[in-house]
A and B are shown apart, each in its own frame.
Chain A
């Protein structure tokens, strides 16, 4: 500091934090805080999806390998953990992530819409497709998750369900036209969501910088393509008879 020019000043009456003295409210009340919750929960789900996708690819190695893998998931951590405990731990974490993600997405979307009540008369196209479809895409993903659980976890809506035989159940789903359609549309939505989402999460968590811009975008696109291709390869293989 330049001491030679320093004059003693008395602090202004309102203190160093401006006349409002607004002080930071709680983490959750801030838009950046909510966005951070959205980013972290999104990344948790994303991490799960990468593992899930790799697991699904085992279907290409036959019923025994796939069903064996499904059984292994239930005995994971044994003998320390009881049957299915590890699985339930993951399920609870994912449920928390989905709820946190959806609640923050809903609250932020409401704030965002309220902050721009009057539209411009002169319309023009704004932002990329992936960016503009985050909300609708998210809703599609939410509905898909419900259907997917009813179809392959609880087997409620699976017409040829056979408990304990995931390989056969997957074949059953992908031998119906609606099973394939729902799944492929949802995976397209997932790819788009991840494309903007991964890059956004990096910005939200402060990892973005001018220098890393291109790398982050390329990585987000790569991740979106790999997830889409990996997941969709399963119904495509069933439809073409590669897996039967």
Chain B
């Protein structure tokens, strides 16, 4: 395959950026999107140019590092992570636009790399759970209803990639925060901090400069892990409950 790429280039956080055009040739349909970018970068290095900076780590869809907006879609046209997106989703001769996540709370570091430290600080604000760590606990000691376990697991799938923020017209982190809050709040192990967790995480989310939720639904459409939109309603319910009860 032969492709034209238009890639956001920006030398540093405060430097101005622009879309730069590149031609890449010899792309196989079985390559991942990141391997296609590797091919471009090898080319750029050979030509003595600065390679395109982008985030990646596991390349198997579990770490949440990869983060590209491809033709206006966070993680591209398929519902998966950028590293799991394959070039067969594109056609020979296509022009593909590649941009970084855009949100005030995710400033660009370089090219396609953004700083997602705000997510870490939301998680930190949630604090810890008072369950003992160390050796694995006896599985029957704390009974968890099946429905709750499923609900918790569904939300534990969030890999913190930030596609939800990138896709949201308000740069809102409600889907991510709801995944984290719901995951722990539904479990008995997370219940001693149930109120403070949701209050502190939401407060931190607001302080980081993420926007509010307008129930647009773009986040859930972009999420590679299928965190559903009603998760936000579930977090709102937790938040309103915690406000009524007051932090313990």
CB of B202 within 8 A of chain A?
yes
On whether the beta carbons of A122 and B211 are closer than 8 Å, the reply is: no
Q: A17-B125, A206-B233, A206-B240 are in contact. Are A112 and B203 (CB under 8 A)?
A: no
CB of A228 within 8 A of chain B?
no
CB of B132 within 8 A of chain A?
yes
On whether the beta carbons of A108 and B104 are closer than 8 Å, the reply is: no
Q: Within the assembled complex, what's the spacing in Å between the Cα atoms of A126 and B200?
A: 31
Q: Which of B73, B203, B211 contacts A22 (CB 8 A)?
A: B203
Mask, B85-115, CB within 8 Å of A = 1, is 0000000000001010011110000000000
Q: Which segment of A31-39, A45-53, A78-86 sits at the interface?
A: A31-39
Q: Which of A116, A124, A204, A213 contacts B71 (CB 8 A)?
A: A124
Q: Which of B172, B199, B240 contacts A112 (CB 8 A)?
A: B172
On whether the beta carbons of B132 and A127 are closer than 8 Å, the reply is: no
Interface size on A, residues (CB 8 A): 60
On whether the beta carbons of A18 and B71 are closer than 8 Å, the reply is: no
Contacts of B242 in A (CB 8 A): 24
On whether the beta carbons of A30 and B203 are closer than 8 Å, the reply is: yes
On whether the beta carbons of B211 and A1 are closer than 8 Å, the reply is: no
On whether the beta carbons of B233 and A209 are closer than 8 Å, the reply is: yes
On whether the beta carbons of A207 and B233 are closer than 8 Å, the reply is: yes
Which chain B residue has the least Cβ–Cβ distance from A196? B215
CB of B212 within 8 A of chain A?
yes
Contacts of A204 in B (CB 8 A): 213, 215, 233, 236
Contacts of A210 in B (CB 8 A): 228, 230
CB of A241 within 8 A of chain B?
no
Q: Within the assembled complex, what's the spacing in Å between the Cα atoms of A116 and B203?
A: 19
CB of B72 within 8 A of chain A?
yes
Q: Which segment of A2-10, A141-149, A186-194 sits at the interface?
A: A2-10
Q: Within the assembled complex, what's the spacing in Å between the Cα atoms of A23 and B73?
A: 35
CB of B136 within 8 A of chain A?
yes
Q: Within the assembled complex, what's the spacing in Å between the Cα atoms of A207 and B241?
A: 12
Q: Which segment of B23-31, B42-50, B57-65, B137-145 sits at the interface?
A: B137-145
Q: Would you list which residues of chain A between 199 and 225 have a CB under 8 Å from chain B?
A: 199-200, 202-210, 213
Q: Which of B6, B126, B233 contacts A202 (CB 8 A)?
A: B233
Q: A20-B121, A35-B213 are in contact. Are A7 and B132 (CB under 8 A)?
A: yes
Q: Within the assembled complex, what's the spacing in Å between the Cα atoms of A208 and B240?
A: 14
Q: Which of B121, B135, B172 contacts A5 (CB 8 A)?
A: B135
On whether the beta carbons of A208 and B193 are closer than 8 Å, the reply is: no
Mask, A214-244, CB within 8 Å of B = 1, is 0000000000000000000000000000000
Which chain B residue has the least Cβ–Cβ distance from A118? B102
On whether the beta carbons of A22 and B204 are closer than 8 Å, the reply is: yes
Which among A118, A196, A199 has the highest number of chain B CB atoms within 10 Å? A118
Contacts of B214 in A (CB 8 A): 108, 112, 131, 134, 200
On whether the beta carbons of A115 and B69 are closer than 8 Å, the reply is: no
CB of B1 within 8 A of chain A?
no
CB of B209 within 8 A of chain A?
yes
Q: Would you list which residues of chain B between 191 and 206 have a CB under 8 Å from chain A?
A: 193, 196, 199-200, 202-206
CB of B13 within 8 A of chain A?
no
On whether the beta carbons of A122 and B71 are closer than 8 Å, the reply is: yes
On whether the beta carbons of A23 and B212 are closer than 8 Å, the reply is: no
Known: A32-B240, A112-B172, A200-B214. 17 other contacts (CB 8 A): A9-B132, A17-B125, A18-B124, A18-B204, A20-B125, A22-B204, A35-B213, A35-B236, A112-B212, A113-B170, A122-B72, A122-B97, A124-B72, A126-B218, A206-B240, A208-B230, A209-B233
Q: Name the 9 nearest CB pairs between A and B, nearest first.
A: A206-B237, A2-B137, A115-B211, A208-B233, A24-B199, A112-B170, A115-B171, A31-B212, A122-B97
Give B residues with C-beta under 8 Å from A: 6, 8, 19, 69, 71-73, 97, 99, 102-105, 121, 124-128, 130-138, 141-142, 168-172, 189, 193, 196, 199-200, 202-207, 209-218, 228-230, 232-234, 236-243, 247
Give A residues with C-beta under 8 Å from B: 1-7, 9, 12, 15-20, 22-25, 27, 29-36, 108, 111-124, 126-127, 131, 134, 196, 199-200, 202-210, 213
